[in-house]
């Protein structure tokens, strides 16, 4: 038997299978667009919703490894806690079974025969790609072409291994794997760890099953091993991450190991005591899909009630406390998220919101500093402005990386808007620092605003802070009505600045206000009015995006 003629087509088919799976997943993800981003809101609910979310995301991107890598990234960024991560991890194991059902559909839906459907899907996808002009059309073509390539790949693998039906040595190898659960689990884990895709690993098993080579018991143990092997990607991803993120990867590994141990014991009892004849029977592609799905669903149902204990064990192994103190000037965005641009953009929105609240706190700290001239407040404002500068730089760099990825036209517009909003928030923080410098000037020159000057400045500050507060609320809720309120407040600030400037000039002309505090007053008026201008910029950007 010429093994070269078997191995080369098999490897080529595997490559086509993985490539088809990836471009189909990318097309699905792009087509999902903003709907993918809104899924993150579910994470604020509970662990059960996390399971549903994990299953849904994995079904779309067709890789439990990719989902778990994202979870590690979320935990590392402080966006997700370990309890939420546990739910998503459990759901990811269920979602990854979708690819297996696609492959086995050739058995339970004869009209989906790869010989007929794959070439048809590829040519339809190519025609759509060549004739379509919109981005959404290109995404649809990627889904169809990927689907076709996936089927071509699995057909190529199945055809390549069909001569092995005559190989006694190959058949005996599977008999050994079926008779020795440990070897079967290790084999499944090793193959999956090497190619870093449980979906592709299951596809390989199904191609061998299509050739009538895989006994039922061997398939069961290999499938269980595949669930352990898929943890390798997340474990590698956690290298260099914080302990919390490493703990998330450990949770994934523990969950799959515990599930494998439990069901391996049940399988051994079943095949050796209850139905030994069934173990030696040949398994079909559809049966592999059913077993894979049943194993993952049953594991989740069984371990869901004790998932808190798994989290505690993982934390003990990872030597981590759940509540780790984060430096709020550190950008909580993870490179792992860039694998899924839609979700990366959502995490960026959350981070911009966090920066926006720091700016809001800085504004509040600036509210009275010109009147109190408190040195501690002056220094804190400057420190907060430094934090905003660091956050703005890091988030901007991350947003630019997102802009280079394969994202929709709508998301490109959103990225451009985010960059503008980041700039406006950072400029507001700069003006807060200017206010602290005005306070220093007043302190050094032992100057004070007049009583009427204090009252008028407080009125101006209140209007400008309110305009930014409304802008931040509008950004977080994407509320057009709130954005319109920002514009109203900014118009009020413009009118007030003109009036107060005129009144102040009159007081200075009448000798009611000293020169030093008078100059500071005028500079502060300009500063506050500019703050309201930038708040309006944020609101107008939101209104533009909502059209």
Q: CA-CA distance, 463 to 111, in Å (whole number)?
A: 68
- pLDDT (tens digit, 9 = 90+) per residue, 204-215? 888 888 878 888
Largest CA distance in the chain: 109
Region at 92 (left for phi over 0; alpha for psi -120 to 50; beta for the rest): alpha
According to DSSP H, which parts of 109-237 are helical?
A: 114-131, 135-161, 168-179, 181-195, 198-210, 216-229, 231-237
The first and second tokens of residue 515, run together, are: 């020169």
Q: What is the pLDDT of residue 42?
A: 57
Closest CA to 231 of 257, 206, 262, 259: 257
The domain locations on the chain are 4-318, 340-546
Closest CA to 289 of 99, 159, 46, 70: 99
Burial of 151 (0-12, 13-18, 19+ CB in 10 A): buried
The crossing angle, in degrees rounded to 10, of helices 181-195 and 198-210 is 120
Q: What is the pLDDT of residue 392?
A: 94
Report DSSP state, residue 283.
Answer: P
Residue 5: count of CB within 10 angstroms of its CB: 11
Q: What is the pLDDT of residue 44?
A: 47
Q: What is the pLDDT of residue 325?
A: 43
pLDDT along the chain (547 residues), means of 10: 78 83 71 55 68 82 72 72 86 85 69 67 87 76 84 78 70 75 89 79 83 86 89 76 80 92 91 84 89 92 92 83 55 77 81 93 93 92 93 94 83 90 96 94 90 92 94 91 93 94 88 85 93 95 80
The first and second tokens of residue 388, run together, are: 């905003």
Residue 131: count of CB within 10 angstroms of its CB: 9
Q: CA-CA distance, 176 to 183, in Å (whole number)?
A: 8
Q: What is the pLDDT of residue 53?
A: 82
Q: CA-CA distance, 98 to 102, in Å (whole number)?
A: 6
Task: Report CA dihedral (417, 418, 423, 425) to the nearest 10 degrees.
Answer: 120
For the chain, the residue count is 547
For residue 298, give the 3-state DSSP assignment: helix
Q: CA-CA distance, 61 to 417, in Å (whole number)?
A: 27
CATH level 2 (architecture), domain 340-546: Up-down Bundle (1.20)
* Cβ proximity of 141 and 125 under 8 Å: yes
In degrees and rounded to multiples of 5, residue 152 shows phi and psi of -60, -40
Q: What is the pLDDT of residue 109?
A: 61
């Amino acid at each position: 038997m010429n093994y070269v003629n078997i191995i080369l087509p098999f490897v080529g088919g595997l490559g086509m299978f993985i490539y088809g799976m990836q471009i189909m997943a990318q097309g699905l993800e792009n087509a999902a667009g903003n709907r993918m981003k809104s899924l993150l809101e579910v994470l604020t609910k509970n662990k059960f919703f996390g399971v549903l979310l994990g299953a849904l995301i994995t079904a779309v991107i067709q890789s439990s490894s990719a989902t778990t890598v994202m979870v590690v990234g979320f935990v590392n960024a402080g966006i997700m806690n370990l309890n939420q991560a546990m739910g998503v991890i459990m759901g990811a194991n269920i979602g990854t079974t979708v690819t297996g059902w696609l492959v086995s559909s050739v058995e339970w839906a004869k009209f989906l025969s790869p010989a007929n459907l794959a070439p048809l899907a590829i040519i339809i996808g190519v025609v759509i790609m060549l004739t379509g002009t919109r981005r959404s059309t290109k995404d649809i073509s990627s889904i169809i072409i990927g689907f076709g390539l996936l089927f071509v790949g699995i057909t190529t693998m199945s055809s390549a291994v069909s001569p092995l039906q005559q190989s006694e040595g190959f058949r005996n190898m599977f008999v050994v794997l079926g008779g020795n659960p440990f070897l079967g689990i290790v084999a499944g884990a090793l193959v999956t760890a090497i190619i870093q895709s449980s979906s592709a690993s299951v596809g390989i098993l199904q191609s061998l099953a299509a050739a009538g080579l895989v006994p039922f018991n061997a398939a069961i143990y290999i499938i269980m091993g595949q669930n352990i092997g898929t943890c390798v990607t997340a474990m590698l991803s956690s290298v260099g991450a914080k302990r919390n993120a490493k703990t998330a990867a450990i949770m994934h590994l523990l969950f799959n190991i515990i599930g494998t141990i439990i069901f391996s014991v049940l399988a051994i009892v079943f095949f050796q005591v209850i139905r030994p004849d069934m173990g030696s029977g040949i398994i079909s592609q559809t049966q592999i899909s059913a077993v894979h799905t049943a194993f993952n669903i049953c594991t989740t149902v069984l371990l869901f009630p004790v998932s808190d204990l798994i989290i505690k064990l993982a934390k003990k192994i990872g030597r981590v406390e759940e509540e780790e103190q984060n430096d709020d000037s550190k950008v909580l965005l993870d490179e792992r998220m860039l694998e899924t641009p839609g979700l990366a953009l959502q995490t960026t929105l959350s981070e911009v919101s966090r920066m926006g609240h720091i700016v809001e706190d800085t504004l509040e700290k600036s509210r009275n500093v010109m009147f109190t001239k408190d040195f501690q407040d002056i220094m804190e404002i400057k420190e907060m402005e430094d934090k905003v500068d660091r956050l703005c730089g890091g988030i901007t760099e991350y947003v630019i990386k997102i802009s280079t990825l394969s994202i929709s036209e709508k998301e490109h517009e959103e990225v451009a808007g985010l960059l503008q909003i980041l700039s406006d928030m950072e400029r507001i923080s700069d003006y807060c620092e200017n206010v602290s410098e005005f306070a220093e000037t007043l302190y050094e020159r032992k100057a004070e605003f007049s009583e009427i000057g204090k009252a008028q400045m407080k009125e101006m500050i209140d209007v400008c802070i309110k305009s930014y507060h409304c802008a931040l609320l509008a950004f977080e809720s994407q509320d057009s009505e709130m954005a319109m309120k920002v514009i109203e407040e900014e118009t009020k600030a413009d009118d007030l600045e003109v009036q107060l400037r005129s009144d102040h000039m009159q007081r200075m002309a009448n000798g009611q206000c000293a020169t030093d505090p008078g100059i500071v007053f005028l500079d502060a008026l300009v500063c506050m009015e500019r703050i309201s201008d930038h708040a309006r910029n944020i609101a107008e950007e939101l209104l533009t995006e909502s059209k």
